[in-house]
Amino acid sequence: MTSTPDPRRLVASLLVVRASGLLADGQRRHPRWEHDNATLRALLAEGVGGVILLGGAAAELRLRTRQLASWSDQPLLLCADVEEGVGQRFAGASWLPPPLGLGRLHGRDPAAALHLAEQYGRCTGREARALGLNWVLGPVCDVNNNPGNPVINVRAWGEEPTGVAELVAAFIAGVQNEGVLACAKHFPGHGDTSTDSHLDLPVLPHHRERLEAIELPPFRRAIARGVASVMTAHLLLPELDPERPATLSPVVLTQLLRQDLGFAGLVVTDALVMDAIATRHGAGEAAVLALEAGADLVLMPADPWQAIDAILAALDSGRLCADDLRQSAERRRRALALTCGDPDPGGMDPERPLGLLTNGPSAEDRAFASELLRRTLIVQGGKVARPRSQRAVALVRVDEPLACPFLSPDAPALAFPAAAGFRPRVLDRQTPPSWTEDGGNEGPVLLQLFVRGHPFRGSAADGEPWAEWITTLVRQKRLAGLVVYGSPYLWDSLRGHLPQELPAVWSPGQMPDAQALALDRIGLALDVPATLDGGFTD
């Protein structure tokens, strides 16, 4: 085992801090969590061993990962939450429909869903590696058997353990065959919660037998498949440990994960800045508790300097064992050895040039994204009739109009209905729809509902009167069509209110390509983007 002579550098190597994917300090979108460049340089010089990135364009991310690597004298773990393709976080790469769409397809066509899940992993790993990332923080292994889950929801690969286990194993194979680490999360299972751990500490009251039946099978399958890392969940399991949440619990991390499930890879905490942890423990104490419980890496401590100092103090006092931390550092080293490394460590790699993805995904990945959109779409009814009334309206429901990367002014959800004669109107969940203003006129109404679970925002569409609206509009013969983007649970709850012939679509994806495809299928397309290749099939 390779030892680290300097205790401070050993400790620092077990921290993963957050940075913007954008190059300049002034571009940071979340300065509360994203360190400025001077702080990043100091932390990396101190020996911090990893960076999680968020935001920016794919081409700029390649420059950013090079920059970060140049500020460190050791190989870095460079990761991102790209559960839905690299384009979910970095514009210009492939943005894929959320995994729950494949979970639903698995119920209809398991072989096709497994093949697509493996391709999903390959696409994500290939693009991550091309941009300098060597660690994908996915797949979500949570079984989303609670439709009201505010934070997992469509991020999960399904709602029953066997299907989720098969799909996450396929995804892991795809990612890691591209020389990029995968991460099974959130252990031991965040699917059956109604609380967002970004905001508070969820409680999962299940006993071990229930966990073995529902929550643990996907993690067992991921471990058997050789997943490189496992991320902890910020939730309390009182039947296992009534005192400490899973992230800080030796019962969960050492006994259950290490000993019972036999996991020998990297254990990383979920972000310690999340309120489930940060409101209960200081930055230093949370980091010490996590390592004491059996974690190897501390993700996003609220204050990295405090975390380093507290861990060193715990070493000096004997609370933490230096051998344990050296074992964690060795697991980190072994994980890095599994990756293909930086594709361009010292100059231009002719096979992976800087310009990769500057013109968007490869033709192969565009074709895959197109197929994935088509295969996960559900369509019923006919085509939307062109309105003859000038009072026709297209109501678009979103969570927050100012935080919708999928809804620019020229997005298909706005442009396509407008060209057909529907006046667009955007509503958000803070401004509940008014029947008098939005639905009480005499014209036809096209409803487009963008709904999915969102971290920090809770469960979307709770208590909103869409079933009542639809029933009223159908009775008045004024509902022109319905499109639900995201949540299959809202779709399931509304489709029973629709006449069979009424044009309606569920799309798990919300991005512009998903909008264009969904609206094309009910007869409202303009020019179909080249990325969709035309020729849509069920």
Q: How far apart are CA 344 and CA 132, in angstroms?
A: 8
Torsion of CA 153, 158, 161, 166, to 10 degrees: -140
Question: Is the Cα torsion angle 145, 147, 153, 157 positive or negative in sign?
Answer: positive
Sequence-ordered list of residues with C-beta below 8 angstroms from that of 443, at least 6 positions apart, any chain: 387, 389, 390, 391, 392, 393, 478
Q: How far apart are CA 497 and CA 465, in angstroms?
A: 13
DSSP 31: T
Q: Indicate if 198 belongs to the active site.
A: yes
User: What does the buried/exposed string (b/e) look like for 169-193 if buried means 16 or more CB atoms within 10 Å of the residue's CB?
Assistant: bbbbbbbbebbbbbbbbbbbbbbbb
- 291: helix, strand or coil: helix
Q: How far apart are CA 153 and CA 212, in angstroms?
A: 21
Which candidate in 192, 270, 365, 520 is catalytic?
A: 270
Cβ pair 339, 134 in contact under 8 A: yes
Question: Is the Cα torsion angle 195, 198, 202, 208 positive or negative in sign?
Answer: positive
Which candidate in 35, 190, 198, 281 is catalytic?
A: 198
Fill in the amino acid letter for 431.
T
Q: Where are the beta strands (DSSP E) in 85-179?
A: 135-136
What secondary structure, in 3-state letters, does 170-224 show?
HHHHHHHCCCCECEEEEECCCCCCCCCCCCCCCECCCCHHHHHHHHCHHHHHHHH
- 418: helix, strand or coil: helix
Fill in the amino acid letter for 309.
D
Q: Which ranges of 251-359 would DSSP assign to H, the alpha helix? A: 275-278, 283-293, 304-317, 322-338
What are the tokens at 533?
Answer: 């290749």
Q: Indicate if 270 belongs to the active site.
A: yes
**Residue 299: strand pairing partners:** 16
Question: Is the Cα torsion angle 410, 411, 412, 417 positive or negative in sign?
Answer: negative
Sequence-ordered list of residues with C-beta below 8 angstroms from that of 209, at least 6 positions apart, any chain: none
Sole residue written with tokens 């369509």: 379
Angle at 349 between CA 87 and CA 132, to 5 degrees: 35
Other C-beta atoms closer than 10 Å to the C-beta of 83 total 24
DSSP 75: -
C-alpha distances (whole Å) from 336 to each of 49, 217, 226, 503 are 11, 27, 14, 50
What residues are labeled active site?
A: 198, 270
